Amino acid sequence: MARIVMKFGGTSMAGSERIRRVAGIVKRQQDAGHEVAVVVSAMAGETDRLVNFCREANALYDPAEYDVVVASGEQVTSGLLALTLQAMGCKARSWLGWQVPIKTDDAHAKARIEDIDADALTASMAAGEIAVIPGFQGVSPQGRVTTLGRGGSDTSAVAVAAAVKADRCDIYTDVDGVYTTDPRIVAKARKLPLVTYEEMLELASVGSKVLQTRSVSLAMKEKVRVQVLSSFIDETAPAADTIPGTLIVSDEELEGSDMERQLITGIAADKNEAKITLTRIADRPGAVASIFAPLADSNINVDMIIQNVAKDLGETDVTFTVPQSDLTRAQAMLEARKDEIGFYRMIAEGNVAKISVVGVGMRSHAGVAATMFKTLADRGINIIAISTSEIKVSVLIDTDETELAVRVLHTAYGLDAAA
């Protein structure tokens, strides 16, 4: 007997027929003798629809009321799944965020989980009842509904798994595992049986939306065993316990496995970046700080930064990227401080994409970046900016070249599946 937390994403929960399929998968795990808790997303498209209603009601919406609205999508699917399980003869009940409770801070629309009181949950699971928990939602110290940011149900699932000390957290989605790159973009992408926490963290943070970044850092910190697998299966599919999907493992576990590893594990693309260039900034101490301090104060995340001094002029251009959703705010803030920062012109561009290659193998092998630059150059793809970490190289390119870049890099690093 094991204790399993299962999470089903929006596509898996989209409509009665699919919810019945999900209930069947859940029942199978219970029939196999496991204690089960299930975390569910809203039906696909529902959260977008609710966010739009908020925008229409009030462009400058109050995040606390936004949370009341958007958390409802998960309330609906959790109730529907409990009803469907009951119709199949299972004992099941829903536990809303405030009922568990899943306690968060009060940063509405991007709340962080602080604590989960799992006593009532574990007692009900031990009594053979399937606990169905809406993902994405929690409760603030003031007792108000909060949500965890887009894609947050993954984080809910991992947090519940840590709280109930689950043996495994199975994240069911519309693909059957983590691939070398988005299988919807590159047909030759290969499924990875194992990925390390660190690699998954990098992949998620640079744009592989298969798992929310915070869910991976939480799993790493709490040592939760996470498997990504497909909910689009029938009764003949191998059981989840045989790990048909992708298992996220520690570095040590990976080293212990005898599988052949490529130098690069995966490639991700992120089209949600925007680039800002400030020209002719004085080359003096404090100039750069005067740009980035106010951005940080407004919670705008700066990613890539390039600064190069024109030696003869004593002036410099500074280029950096911010999330596209923050571009307008960043521009307004910088324009308001134009005299203080002392720039000549601000040039903003939204049509850039970040392409990243990730792999722990990079630690011990040189030449990964060189291969990337040469491969892109051979296709005439211009690199606007570069950033690196110990296990990642990212480049900024024109958005129109995203798919081509991912495809040629996938081939160059030997990741293509055999035809």
Task: Scan for tokens 């998968």, then name that residue.
Answer: 25
Nearest-angstrom CA–CA distance, 88 and 24:
8
Of 201-220, which residues contact ligand ADP (CB under 6 A)? 208-210
State the minimum distance, in angstroms, from the CB of residue 231 to ligand ADP. Answer: 8
Evaluate whether 98 touches 129 at the Cβ level (below 8 Å). no
- Of residues 66-105, those binding ligand ASP (CB under 6 A): 73
Applying CB under 5 A, among 151, 177, 244, 245 the residue interacting with Mg ion is: 151
Q: Where are the beta strands (DSSP E) in 52-166?
A: 92-94, 102-104, 113-116, 130-134, 137-139, 145-147
Residue numbers 123-182 binding ligand ADP by CB under 6 A: 151, 173-175, 178-179, 181-182
Measured CA to CA, the distance from residue 39 to residue 102 in angstroms comes to: 12
Work out what residue 184 binds among ligand ADP, ligand ASP, Mg ion, none; the CB cut-off runs from 5 to 8 Å by kind: ligand ADP
Number of residues that bind ligand ADP (CB under 6 A): 18
3-state helix, strand, coil in the chain (%, to 5): 35, 25, 35
In the complex, residue closest to ligand ADP by CB: 9
Only one of the segments 97-105, 129-137, 146-154, 310-318 lies at the binding site for Mg ion (rule: CB under 5 A); that segment is: 146-154
Q: Which stretch binds ligand ASP (CB under 6 A): 146-154, 176-184, 307-315, 343-351?
A: 146-154
Prior bond to 101 cis, omega within 30? yes
User: H or E segment at 409?
Assistant: helix 402-412
Q: Tokens 């316990």 map to which residue?
A: 241
Give the strands of the sheet with 130-134, arranged side by side: 92-94, 130-134, 35-40, 3-8, 168-173, 226-230, 246-249, 194-196
Q: Which is nearer to Mg ion, 149 or 323 (CB)?
A: 149
Euclidean distance between CA atoms 413 and 393, whole angstroms: 13
x/- binding map, residues 208-237, to ligand ASP, per CB under 6 A?
Answer: ------------------------------
Segment 116-145, which members bind ligand ASP (CB under 6 A)? 135-136
Q: Binding of ligand ADP at residue 248 (CB under 6 A)?
A: no
135 binds Mg ion (CB under 5 A): no
Binding segment (CB under 6 A) for ligand ASP, from list 147-155, 171-179, 372-380, 410-418: 147-155
Piece in contact with ligand ASP (CB under 6 A), picked from 100-108, 150-158, 198-206, 226-234? 150-158
Range in contact with ligand ASP (rule: CB under 6 A) among 152-160, 171-179, 284-292, 320-328: 152-160
CA-CA distance, 297 to 332, in Å (whole number)? 14
| Tokens 């790990």 belong to residue | 243
- 291 or 393: CB nearest ligand ADP: 393
User: Could you say which of 42, 80, 240, 248 contacts ligand ASP (CB under 6 A)?
Assistant: 42
Using alpha carbons, list the distances in angstroms from residue 408 to 62, 159, 268, 391. 45, 38, 13, 20
Query: Which residue is listed with tokens 């592989």?
Result: 208
Q: Which runs of consecutive H residues, i.e. helices, occur in 96-151? A: 119-126
Binding map of ligand ADP across residues 266-285, x = CB under 6 A, - = no contact: x-------------------
Residue 7 CB, nearest approach to ligand ASP (Å):
9
Nearer to Mg ion, 11 or 72 (CB): 11
Q: Residue 8 is encoded by which pair of tokens?
A: 């089903």
HSE-CB at 193 with a 13 A cutoff on CA atoms is 11
Report in angstroms how near the CB of residue 179 gets to ligand ADP at its nearest.
Answer: 4
Give the separation between CA 158 and CA 231, rounded to whole angstroms: 18
Cα–Cα distance for residue pair 135/137, rounded to 1 Å: 6
From the list ligand ASP, Mg ion, ligand ADP, none, partner contacted by residue 152 (C-beta under 5 to 8 A by kind)? ligand ASP
Residues that bind ligand ADP (CB under 6 A): 9-11, 41, 151, 173-175, 178-179, 181-184, 208-210, 266
Residues that bind ligand ASP (CB under 6 A): 9-10, 41-42, 47, 73, 135-136, 150-154
